[in-house]
A and B are shown apart, each in its own frame.
Chain A
Amino acid sequence: MEVTMDPLFLAWSYFRRRKFQQCADICTKLLQDGPYDQAAWSLKTRAFTEMVYIDETEVDQEGIAELMLDESSIAQVARPGTSLRLPGTSQGGGPTQAVRPMTQSGRPITGFVRPSTQSGRPGTMEQAIKTPRTASTARPVTGATGRFIRLGTASMLTNPDGPFINLSRLNLAKYSQKPHLSRTLFEYIFHHENDIKNALDLAAQATEHAQFKDWWWKVQLGKCYYRLGLYREAEKQFRSALNHQEVVDTYLYLAKVYQRLDQPITALNLFKQGLDHFPGEVTLLTGIARIHEEMNNITSATEYYKDVLKQDNTHVEAIACIGSNHFYTDQPEIALRFYRRLLQMGVYNCQLYNNLGLCCFYAQQYDMTLSSFERALALVASDEEQADVWYNIGHVAVGIGDLTLAYQCFKLALAFNNDHAEAYNNLAVLELRKGRVEQSKAFLQTAASLAPHMYEPHFNLSILSDKIGDLQSSYTAAQKSEDAFPEHVDTQQLLKLLREHFAAL
């Protein structure tokens, strides 16, 4: 039996159940009948916004231009431990680079991929531009253009009837007077259209209309300023918003500003202040842990991740980070337990099986190793992942002494991702064992040019050159290796030896 219902009510109900397309369709029909139906218009706006909504606190994309043309940083040469740009040398007593691989900026590899972990902060312009620009590490030239346009694909979707709201024709001043419409409209402009300037206009007029007493508008102003790169203005707005009303999001936004301004200590203090108001808030704890991790203070980071788990024991990021930390601190059995927990929780992807495989191997559960990798290979989503899995299989093959298999695995890794510097390095070592010096040298040089932040290819090249008597190349390579990893004892010994040689000459 067909029962008639009010279409607006149905649309409203669909919206509550997050069936946005149906909601928008009904609203479109309603708007065709009555173009001035504010309720339907507002609901459709909200539905469109929700379809593309991304939590702004998690969006962190810093383009090369923002990085290098940044005038707001306080000190060019910051004191150790006060800057994200200059990662201190493992103050937390974590594992060294020899055990735990580093990202390009000298930060240890983390257990959970976040926007900011993708490639870290390069120290110089040259380094920033030289970053291997594969799909997984590509950094846009500026955050104001490429990335956000890609994120805000909704604004680029062609609509046969033109865009739903024509922003250029909108009288923002009129809408800013209407509190029941303005917030919805703002979110639409900000999230759906990605038109920050208009959003800022609207927010500025609305906050004026609210007599500067509405914390929400101040937060939105701050968000706009942040996107426009006016960090100090954003900070001011967020601070002012916090005076009106303590909200978790505001703390997160403000901390994001401080991180962008390269003031991790201030951000940490802010998070702790936020925790006083909202004890046990998971997002704040995670924020602290992430900053500690970025500053190479792995021990504290792990502590905070454990605190996160006390509040929310299903937190995937915390489990993954603790797991990877255990793995790199030589406790593969415990890491295995963390990863198994993730598996039981329903995380089911290539990366997890890859990690499981490695943990099994190092925990000497050889029976599970290969089947884990097999599953990882069955689940790969991209060539980069496939390359990584093959690289790890190659690593296992080296471990069990099957050099032929290892050789072929590394080759496969390179076939899937020919920017895989680690594979080049290992392949070079295998080639050297076969006695093919030239080939080995070529691979090492490729690896060194692909990943100048890794010390291994430099060091290997140095050893190789030393053996064939090319002391000059050996010395330069050893120096590069020392730059990448100052505490590496073998490099230092080699350098010492070389210096003695030169002195003798």
Chain B
Amino acid sequence: MSLFKARDWWSAVLGKGEEFDQGCLCIGDVDNSGTGHDKVVVGSYMGMLRIFSPHANVSNEGGQNLIDSLLLEVQLQNAIIQVEIGKFVSCSELLHLAVLHPRKLSVYSISGTAGNVEHGVQYQLKLIYEHNLQRTACNMTYGAFGGVTGHHSLCIQSMDGMLMFFEQDSYSFGRFLPGFLLPGPLAYNPRTDSFLTVSSARQLECYKYETLAVATEAETRPGPDLPLRTGGKRLTADWILVLGEQALDISISSFSHSSSSIFVLGERNLYCVRDNGQIRFMRKLEFNPSCFLPYCSVTDGTTNLLLCNHTNMLLVYQDVTLKWAAQLSFVPVAVRVASFPDLKGLVVTLSSDGHLLCSYMGTDPSFFSMPKVDAREADYEQVDAEMKKLQKIIREASRTQDILPKAETEEDLTVTVSVANRSSVTILMVICCLHFLFLGVGSSTVVTFSVFLNGHYPPADLTGDITVSYTSPTGVPRILQSKFSLPLALVCVSSSAAKNTKFKITVDTNQPPVDLSSIFPEFSDKSEHKDGNSLALQFLSGAKVTMVASKTSQRYRIQSDSFEDMWLVVKELVQRFDLHFSKLGVKDFKKSFSGPLPLQEYFLSVDNHFQLRVSAQQYQDLLSERAVQFRAIQRRLLTRFKDKTPAPLQNLDTLLDATYNQVMALAEAAEENRASLEEAFTRLRSATHLLLLLLSLWQNLTPDQTTILEATLLPQQDTPQLGWEESCDAAVSHLLRSCLSWNPKDQATSLAQIDAPILGFPQETARLKNHITLLCDRIGKGGRLSLTSEANVQVPAQVQNLAAPGKLSKWQENDGEKEMRDRHLSKSSP
């Protein structure tokens, strides 16, 4: 991100498909022209060595320019990994070019022969000496090692960590760096006569030349884990500074006389380190740097440096302050500063794919230009027409649809349910979720699913709901519902009649008795005795229900050993009677129930359910208690383990194990209890259904009233938080207080006001039983169930007239007494 771009002064693209890296660029007066003007030496991994003397020639074309500036181009045998210019030849003050190949070091001299015309100058490359290397070289550095003046020695680092020293044309010695794995950058600090590198241990290490010279001669590479051979001195670093990151480059700058600074370009930070290994300053880099170069000191005590990064930027820092940022067109791998005949202090950058650029800072804006937005032709008539068209569409759309959906009356979809009777399949309770796609108008999709019996007890209901949710083409979510009922034959088979049973229910009709086998044809053909008067059904769970039709009177008796199981049969019977007689064309068919309501039997299943709920609660309490204990032990154990000084566990682990086992056992028991609670709940629902049916038969209630009763008594859900007992109790007592109350004033007021005591787990069921008994009594006495207040005002008035006033007051008293007693009980119970 920069405001300006680096201004091109001279640029060249070198070769095609050649690769370059850090060491491949070098600046210096390599042909010893004596003018002090720098030449640019570039070597490539493909072995091309090029020397340029860039000069600005505005008139020439780019290609011409390149040829003009190119002094020398040679293809060498091996890859060039580094080029350096220095005084590498003994007894010569002239600069020579050292070229590092992977297995060879060559030193060349470059000389120019003047021609007659300016572009007739010829340059020649002459090999002075070369060394074949035993190891693959990685990089090199040069300098006056050991304080020798007048000429430079070379130090080559090999890929396996050996420093090889060459003094002109002779090999002096080689040393292995300790703990070496991968090579890092290498630099020579002339002030302290030491070598600096960043090792694989990610630390800056400084080795004195002296130490290196006297250390053990290394001919074979020691294993990194083995101790170095004894005899001679072990090579140890002068000082070590942990950087914690790999370095890209090290550069030594000594622009002021007092001290020199070691600059280390890490992957994430830039460090400036003193000679003795202390950090002078550092700067966290918020980008990935590629190369850098400290180049001069403008004000005393500070150093200016160039830094290039992988976002194509050339940054100029003065210590840690950013002075200038310029955009480049590539990611440089090497950067140098050079002075050329026409211009001094140019920045020379080289990219990995061979862009060589000499540039200077300028205020040319960055060459980023915004891509054009596809601007439309401003044809106003056309635009107007389009606008009108769009407006029309918008108006149309906003009339029909909006963010808030409008209620639609017509359905897009219909659901039809048909039940295939396959009595061999066993049965019930299913929740299935199916996704399917309706293709278009008029198409239909058939979805088949099976129903299975879940558990070993008969279901409370043989009906099912189908809910279809779909999204209409306009994106409005909609829902359709439908009901279906399953045949009784799915849950029971015919069997032999049982004579003596616990529970009996008698249903009266006003029509002559009918043959049971004609009403239940699917069971009759299987039963052995063709007796039309009795029919026995056995549920898959084992319970038997026998129906006996009286031969003389118009009564039917249903008997069974379990109260709840009778529900499905009774319901089926009543339904089939209705169907049968309506088929026969009998209009005034009536069925009734005369006997006392089987409340005691009903309460048995209520108690059973309640008992299981109580034990579920107990299990819950126990579980939470154990869990608390478990966590407490865990916490203690954790503090033990976290403690710095180890302490004995004091059998806490055994305790933890035991608690864990307890928790698991409790959880299993609770799970069992939950299963039986589910069963009890289903039975309770069956029983409630039966009771409601009997109640409506007994008092001949209208369907509306039955619905109210169903809503009151039928359990919707049974969760630990809100069980059937309390919700039913609340509903029943509301009914008792409102529409079933004898006092008309109560009816009006209590409907309006909402007194909602918090529904909680009841202590016992006596109160509920009382209320249900009372409810049945009141309905038996002629109470009308209605929720609309207008109806309530009138209807109870009639009832009042009909009922005897004396009795009425007595009921109220009773009610009050019971209330009192209940309260008393609840007070004393804790």
Contact of B286 with A by CB under 8 A: yes
A345 pairs with B202, CB closer than 8 A: no
Q: How far apart sit A10 and B102, CA to CA, in the bound complex (Å)?
A: 11
Segment at the interface with B among A36-44, A81-89, A152-160, A464-472: A36-44
Contact of B486 with A by CB under 8 A: no
Contact of B310 with A by CB under 8 A: yes
Q: How far apart sit A179 and B179, CA to CA, in the bound complex (Å)?
A: 8
**Most chain A beta-carbon contacts within 10 A, residue among B45, B81, B244:** B244
B201 pairs with A180, CB closer than 8 A: yes
A344 pairs with B352, CB closer than 8 A: no
Residues of A participating in the B interface, judged by any CB pair closer than 8 Å: 1, 3-6, 8-10, 12-13, 16-18, 38-39, 42-43, 46, 50, 55, 178-181, 183-184, 214-216, 219, 245-249, 252, 278-283, 310-314, 316, 341, 344-348, 371, 374-375, 378, 408, 411, 414, 439, 442-443
Segment at the interface with A among B275-283, B552-560, B613-621, B814-822: B275-283
B224 pairs with A178, CB closer than 8 A: yes
A311 pairs with B321, CB closer than 8 A: yes
Question: Which of A180, A278, A411, A414 is in CB contact (< 8 Å) with B282?
Answer: A278
A344 pairs with B3, CB closer than 8 A: yes
Q: How far apart sit A348 and B374, CA to CA, in the bound complex (Å)?
A: 17
| A473: min CB distance to chain B, Å | 19
A281 pairs with B242, CB closer than 8 A: no
Q: What 0/1 readout, one digit per residue, does chain B (64-82) give for beta carbons within 8 Å of chain A?
A: 0000000000010011010
Question: Which of A46, A313, A346 is in CB contact (< 8 Å) with B246?
Answer: A46
Q: How far apart sit A278 and B201, CA to CA, in the bound complex (Å)?
A: 25
Total contacts A to B, CB within 8 angstroms?
Answer: 152
A346 pairs with B1, CB closer than 8 A: yes
A247 pairs with B282, CB closer than 8 A: yes
**Which residues of A are found within 8 Å of B403, using beta-carbon distances?**
411, 414, 443
Q: How far apart sit A497 and B282, CA to CA, in the bound complex (Å)?
A: 62
Query: From residue 198 to 256 of chain B, which have CB atoms closer than 8 A to chain A?
Result: 199-202, 224-225, 242-244, 246, 248
Question: Which of A8, A249, A347 is in CB contact (< 8 Å) with B159?
Answer: A8
**Most chain A beta-carbon contacts within 10 A, residue among B201, B248, B310:** B201
**Which residues of B are found within 8 Å of A3, using beta-carbon distances?**
45-47, 78-79
| B802: min CB distance to chain A, Å | 44
Q: Given contacts A5-B79, A216-B244, A281-B283, is CB(A43)–CB(B3) below 8 Å?
A: no
Q: How far apart sit A219 and B202, CA to CA, in the bound complex (Å)?
A: 14
Q: What 0/1 readout, one digit per residue, does chain B (320-358) give for beta carbons within 8 Å of chain A?
A: 111001010001010000000000000000001000000
B46 pairs with A9, CB closer than 8 A: no
19 A-B pairs with CB atoms under 8 Å apart are A6-B136, A9-B81, A9-B102, A10-B45, A13-B19, A17-B333, A39-B181, A39-B182, A43-B182, A180-B200, A180-B224, A183-B201, A184-B200, A247-B269, A248-B284, A278-B282, A311-B320, A344-B365, A348-B370
Q: How far apart sit A443 and B404, CA to CA, in the bound complex (Å)?
A: 9
A316 pairs with B268, CB closer than 8 A: no
Since A16-B22, A17-B352 are in contact, a sample of 17 more A-B pairs with Cβ atoms closer than 8 Å, ordered by chain A residue number, is A1-B47, A3-B47, A5-B102, A6-B136, A13-B21, A17-B331, A38-B181, A55-B268, A245-B279, A246-B279, A248-B284, A278-B283, A278-B320, A311-B321, A346-B327, A378-B373, A442-B404
Closest to B135 in A: A6
Q: Given contacts A16-B21, A215-B242, A248-B284, is CB(A180)–CB(B327) below 8 Å?
A: no
B281 pairs with A278, CB closer than 8 A: yes
**Which residues of B are found within 8 Å of A8, using beta-carbon distances?**
136, 159
**Which residues of B are found within 8 Å of A178, using beta-carbon distances?**
224-225
| B358: min CB distance to chain A, Å | 21
Q: How far apart sit A248 and B266, CA to CA, in the bound complex (Å)?
A: 13
Q: How far apart sit A282 and B287, CA to CA, in the bound complex (Å)?
A: 13
| A340: min CB distance to chain B, Å | 11
B181 pairs with A346, CB closer than 8 A: no
Query: From residue 655 to 692 of chain B, which have CB atoms closer than 8 A to chain A?
Result: none
Q: Given contacts A39-B181, A42-B182, is CB(A183)–CB(B244) below 8 Å?
A: yes
Q: Given contacts A39-B182, A180-B180, A442-B404, is CB(A281)–CB(B370) below 8 Å?
A: no
Closest to B368 in A: A346
**Which residues of B are found within 8 Å of A184, using beta-carbon distances?**
200
Contact of B288 with A by CB under 8 A: yes
B138 pairs with A181, CB closer than 8 A: no
Closest to A215 in B: B242
A311 pairs with B322, CB closer than 8 A: yes
Contact of B749 with A by CB under 8 A: no
**Which residues of A are found within 8 Å of B527, using beta-carbon distances?**
none
Q: Is the interface of A mostly helix, strand, loop or mixed?
A: helix
**Most chain A beta-carbon contacts within 10 A, residue among B180, B225, B322, B374:** B322
Query: From residue 559 to 574 of chain B, which have CB atoms closer than 8 A to chain A?
Result: none
Q: Given contacts A16-B22, A17-B333, A245-B242, is CB(A345)–CB(B366) below 8 Å?
A: yes
Contact of B511 with A by CB under 8 A: no
Q: How far apart sit A248 and B181, CA to CA, in the bound complex (Å)?
A: 28
**Which residues of B are found within 8 Å of A311, using beta-carbon distances?**
320-322
B286 pairs with A282, CB closer than 8 A: yes
Question: Which of A246, A247, A313, A378 is in CB contact (< 8 Å) with B322?
Answer: A313
| A470: min CB distance to chain B, Å | 19
**Which residues of B are found within 8 Å of A443, using beta-carbon distances?**
403
Closest to A342 in B: B1
Contact of B394 with A by CB under 8 A: yes
Q: What 0/1 readout, one digit per residue, does chain B (380-397) give for beta carbons within 8 Å of chain A?
A: 000000000000001000
B282 pairs with A375, CB closer than 8 A: no
Q: How far apart sit A476 and B181, CA to CA, in the bound complex (Å)?
A: 71
Closest to B322 in A: A312
A283 pairs with B284, CB closer than 8 A: yes
Q: How far apart sit A43 and B803, CA to CA, in the bound complex (Å)?
A: 100
**Which residues of B are found within 8 Å of A344, using beta-carbon distances?**
3, 365-366
Q: What 0/1 readout, one digit per residue, does chain B (262-299) give for beta carbons within 8 Å of chain A?
A: 00000111000000000101111010101000000000
Q: How far apart sit A179 and B181, CA to CA, in the bound complex (Å)?
A: 10
B201 pairs with A179, CB closer than 8 A: yes
Closest to B373 in A: A378
Question: Which of A249, A345, A378 is in CB contact (< 8 Å) with B1?
Answer: A345
Closest to A317 in B: B286
B181 pairs with A249, CB closer than 8 A: no
**Most chain B beta-carbon contacts within 10 A, residue among A215, A344, A347, A408:** A344
Q: How far apart sit A55 and B285, CA to CA, in the bound complex (Å)?
A: 11
Q: How far apart sit A346 and B2, CA to CA, in the bound complex (Å)?
A: 7
Q: Given contacts A9-B138, A12-B138, A17-B333, is CB(A180)–CB(B284) below 8 Å?
A: no
**Which residues of B are found within 8 Å of A180, using beta-carbon distances?**
179-181, 199-201, 224
A314 pairs with B404, CB closer than 8 A: no
**Which residues of B are found within 8 Å of A9, using beta-carbon distances?**
81, 102, 136, 138, 159
Q: How far apart sit A242 and B50, CA to CA, in the bound complex (Å)?
A: 49
Question: Which of A1, A214, A310, A442 is in CB contact (< 8 Å) with B75?
Answer: A1
Q: How far apart sit A411 and B395, CA to CA, in the bound complex (Å)?
A: 13
A314 pairs with B322, CB closer than 8 A: yes
**Which residues of A are found within 8 Å of B286, using beta-carbon distances?**
282-283
**Which residues of B are found within 8 Å of A219, using beta-carbon distances?**
244
Closest to B352 in A: A17
Contact of B183 with A by CB under 8 A: yes
| A338: min CB distance to chain B, Å | 13
**Which residues of A are found within 8 Å of B290, using beta-carbon distances?**
17-18
Query: From residue 148 to 166 of chain B, which have CB atoms closer than 8 A to chain A?
Result: 159-160
B281 pairs with A347, CB closer than 8 A: no
| B678: min CB distance to chain A, Å | 31
Closest to A343 in B: B370
**Which residues of A are found within 8 Å of B45, using beta-carbon distances?**
3, 5, 10, 13
Q: How far apart sit A278 and B182, CA to CA, in the bound complex (Å)?
A: 31
